[in-house]
Amino acid sequence: MSEFLNAELLARAQFAFTIAFHIVFPAFTIGLASYLAVLEGLWLRTGNDAYLATYRYWLKIFAVAFGMGVVSGLVMSYQFGTNWAVFSDKAGPVIGPLMGYEVLSAFFLEAGFLGIMLFGMQKVGRRLHYFATLMVAFGTLFSAFWILSVNSWMQTPAGYVINEVGQFVPADWWQVVFNPSFPYRLVHMVLAAYLTTAFVVGGVGAWHLLRHRENRPARIMFSMGLWMATIVAPVQIVAGDMHGLNTLEHQPRKVAAMEGHYETGRGVPLILFGLPNDETEEVDYALEVPNVASFILTHDWQGEVKGLKEWPREDRPPVAIVFWAFRVMVGVGFLMATLGLWALYARMRGRLYDSPLLKRVAVVLAPSGFIAVLAGWVVTEVGRQPYTVYGMLRTSDSLSPIAAPAVATSLAIFAIVYFVVFGLGTLYMLKLMAHRPEVTERGPEEGKPMRAAGTTPVAAFEEPEHPEGDSHDD
Amino acid sequence: MMIDLPLVWAFLIAAAILIYVVLDGFDLGIGILFPFLNNPEDRDTAVNTVAPVWDGNETWLILGGGGLFATFPLAYAILMPALYVPILAMLFGLIFRGVAFEFRWRDEKHKPYWDFGFTAGSMVAAFCQGIALGAFIQGVDVDGRAYAGGWWDWLTPFSLLTGIALVVGYTLLGATWLVMKTEGSLGERAVRYARITVVGILIFIAIISAATLSLDPSFMERWMAWPAVLYSAPVPLAVGIVTFWLWRCLGEKMDFKPFIAAILLFILCFIGLGISLFPHMVPPAITIWEAAAPDDSLWFLLVGTAILLPVILGYTAYAYWIFRGKIQAGEGYH
């Protein structure tokens, strides 16, 4: 029995590890693809070469991040079967087709147009090239649409019946795809991806402005990144609140864990910090604000909030992880919004580019989106426990019949390979970001395929713009 | 509507796998041939022949895995645990292959390491795919709706044999691809590698066919019984004819023919496999109809596939058409 428990924990650790590595790449590329579309659109409208330079600067980084997203994503498409066989058998008829649509509508679209986007500007002309950029951006959003639909169905299953062999089978596809938590999760995640990218872009701009005050592409990055922080970060707080209320409706246990509430009550205090203790079912050293939790969750100072004691222990998620990850996400989110307000204030006084402190803080907060995204995913996925299909299929009943040593071995190899491979890839992206943007910025190096040009033929025709090797810029 | 949806999907999944095997087969074959290309310029040329297409080729593997999950979840749920070690090893190989592909151009100082990663990744991926195939043919233990064996059950002399055979087969695809895409000394050497591997693959086809027939008496029945012999007998005959044609073409000027012949060999072997295993989705216990998702799921995905798959096939074919012709040494695609 204890060995089986180990196998379960190992399989969960392996899934968490591989998906945590995977998610940072799409979170970044979803935002970056849209940002590139905006930059190219601005360039086409204004003819300002600084926009084109900024486009080309981020295009190189996009190519590397996208490649790593593809490779780490390939692993995910097999891991459902290798480690979660019972889940795959039972949930496959419902979520499998959604993933099939992700491959057919998103992955092939991206692969098809990425080549034109990377190499084809000279060959296909501006309009078709812009079309390709838009298609890649749509591809990343389609991908987000389908995979978040899958994830949301696992959180709030709908539109299914259970057949005679215990499989979930579709009854109403509309209800399956647009299950209750999906619209909220989709908005929250896409905004998160946009913010993640905006802070990286703004931080990189700030980094270069600290050294070269007048650098035009760096000013564009800094200004656009901070506009996003000013506008989208507050919107995200509202969207997050709505997502939270949706969760309260459909997964009250998760919200109780996020808030650290064990007792059901009225006029419940908001616990700012504390140490949730599942043994004593109390939050030790809690720092509380009276009645605020009731107000946030029910919009009534005396509203009733359900505590975890309403459910048997074996049906509750682990509280401490969810509780802390939630605070990290919210804390980072408010930091991001604060920077946005500060930038707005500086901008209204006409001094956006003047404060070194603002730039330094923007540099420090550059990776904040990744932290918030990872923390948010820990909240929602650990908060789903102990189920894979919420309330319907337990995690312990979802597992493949694989011995613990097999999973331990694969987990160890995943850890080594991922740290080496994606560590080097990240290092390479940082090197690209350390390179100062110039208005004469070129596209990806000619003669040196940054990655495959997908299945796109146009790359073949592009003449080298310049002699071999003169654009080696790392 | 009396369409046999599980059967339609079985053919679609089989087609996706075949397309993957042929397409990624030749670029994995390039990776396997890498240690034999000592001249750095030859290596760069060989990589440039596949640089624009290898990534699209690999997308078919995602489609294969995702498609199986969607349409035959029971088969997916049984086969993946049964093939745990070879599947994960294949993924690790593909990670190194894919990353090395990009990094070897980026980091001149460490190019030999990335080249090693490129070769090792390609070999591991090919070998593991072959092992998975062998383990699949010999059958897996099933209890109810779950895999019932251990995590080393896949390791048998037969699966090792199919593993090596697929490495040789992919090398043949890679070599004939180079015959088509390159010229000069590299092209001539590719002809030599193709000759060696075509002999190798013929031997492996013979051994594996004999071994397969002896695995299970029902395989023998399926091939030899009347009237099955009417459609089974032409397969080995065609293998002989195609191999002869391939050998003859290697000396000729029409240099795309060997590659076509190598693809035909793969298709024939795939048909042979189909004759042995049909109608099983998980040999020997589970059939296509037992493993299939309910018709609602199959319909839902079939509608989109009917629209999107022709589009995907269209631009894939267009890409290969655009990239036709020889690659000169030192000439990049980009």
Q: Is A15 in CB contact (< 8 Å) with chain B?
A: no
> Quick one: which of A304, A298, A209, A305 has its CA closest to A256?
A305
First to last CA, chain A: 54
Q: Which helix (H) or strand (E) holds A273?
A: strand A270-277
Q: Is the confidence at residue A269, as pLDDT, over 50?
A: yes
Instruction: Single out the residue of B284, B270, B15, B21 nearest to residue B137, CA to CA.
Output: B284
Under an 8 A CB cutoff, do B296 and A170 touch? yes
Name the band, by pLDDT with cuts 50, 70 and 90, for residue B165.
very high
The reported pLDDT for the residue numbered A470 is 37
A122 or B113, higher pLDDT: B113
Question: Cα distance from B285 to chain A (closest Cα, Å)?
Answer: 16
The dihedral of CA A21, A242, A338, A437: what is its sign? positive
Most confident among A210-224, A444-458, B107-121 (mean pLDDT): A210-224
Q: How many angstroms separate the Cα of A356 from the Cα of each of A225, A293, A359, A388, B135?
A: 16, 38, 5, 48, 63
The DSSP string of A24-54 is: HHHHHHHHHHHHHHHHHHHHHHH--HHHHHH
User: Which contiguous run of DSSP H or E holds residue A334?
Assistant: helix A319-348
Residue with tokens 């200004």: A223
Q: What token pair was written down for A278?
A: 């599942």
pLDDT digit string, tens, across residues A371-405:
999 999 999 999 998 999 998 999 988 888 888 88
Predicted local confidence at residue B333, as pLDDT:
34
Q: What is the pTM of this model?
A: 0.88
What residues of B are in contact with residue A77 (Cβ under 8 Å)?
A: 62, 65-66, 69
The pLDDT of residue B254: 63
Residue A447 has pLDDT above 80, yes or no: no
pLDDT band at B303 (very low <50, low <70, confident <90, very high): very high
Q: How far is CA B272 from the centre of its chain?
A: 14
Give the CA dihedral A292, A298, A303, A305, nearest 10 degrees: -90
Contacts of A171 (CB under 8 A, 6+ apart): A159, A160, A161, B296
B98·A71 Cβ contact <8 A: yes
Residue A463's pLDDT is: 38
Per-residue pLDDT for A434 more than 70?
yes
Whether residues B312 and A73 touch (CB distance < 8 A) is answered with no
Residue B285 has φ and ψ, to the nearest 5°, of: -95, -35
- Is A411 an 8 Å CB contact of chain B? no
Q: What is the mean pLDDT of residues B141-147?
A: 87
The per-residue pLDDT of chain B, averaged, comes to: 86
Task: Report residue A464's pLDDT band, with 50, 70 and 90 as the boundaries.
Answer: very low
What CA–CA distance (Å, rounded) separates A449 from B27? 15
Q: Which of A73, A100, A115 sits opposite B67 (nearest CB)?
A: A100
Give the residue from A224, A233, A326, A315 showing the smallest Cα distance to A272.
Answer: A326
- Rounded Cα–Cα distance for residues A278 and A260 (Å): 10
**Three-class secondary structure of residue A442 per DSSP:** coil
Q: What burial letters (b/e) apply to A276-307, b meaning 16+ CB within 10 Å?
A: beeeeeebeeeebeebbbbbbbbeeeebebbb
- Cα–Cα separations (whole angstroms), residue B328 to A253, B31, B181, B182, B184: 64, 19, 9, 7, 9
Strand ranges (E), B183-328: 280-282, 286-287
- Closest-CA residue to A68 (of A373, A416, A377, A428): A428
- From the list A103, A406, A458, which residue is nearest B63 (CB)? A103
Residue that is written with structure tokens 């890839």 in the block:
A425
Give bridge partners of residue A161 from the DSSP assignment: A169
Q: Render pLDDT for B38-75 as a digit per residue (tens, 0 to 9).
A: 888 888 888 878 776 777 788 888 888 889 999 999 99
ipTM: 0.87
> For residue B203, what pLDDT is reported?
92
Q: Delineate the domains of chain B, giving CATH numbers in brackets.
A: 5-322 (1.20.1630)
- pLDDT tens column, B187-200: 888 889 999 999 99
pLDDT over threshold 90, residue B125: yes
pLDDT at residue A468 greater than cutoff 60: no
Span of A157-166, A336-345, B145-154 with lowest mean pLDDT: B145-154
Contact A425 B99 (CB under 8 A): yes
Q: Give the residue, B182 or A124, on which the prediction is more confident.
A: B182
When pLDDT is cut at 50, 70 and 90, the band that residue B210 belongs to is: confident
Do A89 and B77 lie within an 8 Å CB cutoff? yes
User: Taking CB atoms and an 8 Å cut-off, how many pairs form between chains A and B?
Assistant: 254
Mean pLDDT for chain A overall: 85
Q: Closest Cα of chain B to A290: distance in Å?
A: 49
Asked whether residue A441 carries a pLDDT value surpassing 70, the answer given is no
Put simply, whether A174 touches B (Cβ < 8 Å) is no
**Using CA atoms, how far apart are residues B247 and B252, in angstroms rounded to an integer?**
10
Is the predicted pLDDT of residue A123 greater than 80, yes or no? no
Within 8 A by CB and 6+ apart from A198, the residues are A31, A35, A224, A225, A228, A229, A232, A369
Of A88, A402, A453, the CB nearest to B76: A88
Phi, psi of A228 (to 5 degrees): -60, -45
Q: Binning pLDDT at 50, 70 and 90, where does residue A471 land?
A: very low
Quick check: B66 and A103 CB within 8 A?
yes
User: What is d(CA B265, CA B269) in angstroms, rounded to the nearest whole number?
Assistant: 6
Whether A459 has its CB under 8 Å from any CB of chain B: the answer is yes
What average pLDDT does this structure show over A51-64? 88
Residues A364-369 have a mean pLDDT of 93
CA torsion sign, B222 to B225 to B228 to B233? positive
Nearest to A104 among B51, B99, B308 (CB): B308
Whole-number Å distance between alpha carbons of A201 and B112: 34
Are the Cβ atoms of B334 and A444 closer than 8 angstroms?
Answer: yes
Classify burial at A227, counting beta carbons within 10 Å of its beta carbon; exposed 0-12, middle 13-18, buried 19 or more.
middle
Q: What is the pLDDT of residues A236-260, one digit of tens each?
A: 999 998 998 899 889 989 988 888 8
Question: Closest partner residue to B52 among A90, A100, A452, by Cβ?
Answer: A452
* Residues within 8 A of A (CB atoms), B 67-96 only: 67-71, 73-74, 76-81, 84-85, 87-88, 91-92, 94-96
Residue A473 has a pLDDT of 37
In sequence order, what are the beta bridge partners of A266? A304
pLDDT classification of A176: cutoffs 50, 70, 90 = very high
Q: What is the pLDDT of residue A461?
A: 37
What residues in B contact A458, CB-CB < 8 Å?
A: 322
Cα gap A297→A303, rounded to integer Å? 8
Overall average pLDDT of the B259-280 stretch: 88
Highest mean pLDDT among A299-303, A346-350, B252-256: A346-350
Q: Which residues lie closer than 8 Å to B204 by C-beta, 6 or more apart?
A: B161, B164, B165, B168, B169
Residues in chain B with CB shorter than 8 Å from the CB of A105 are: 304, 308
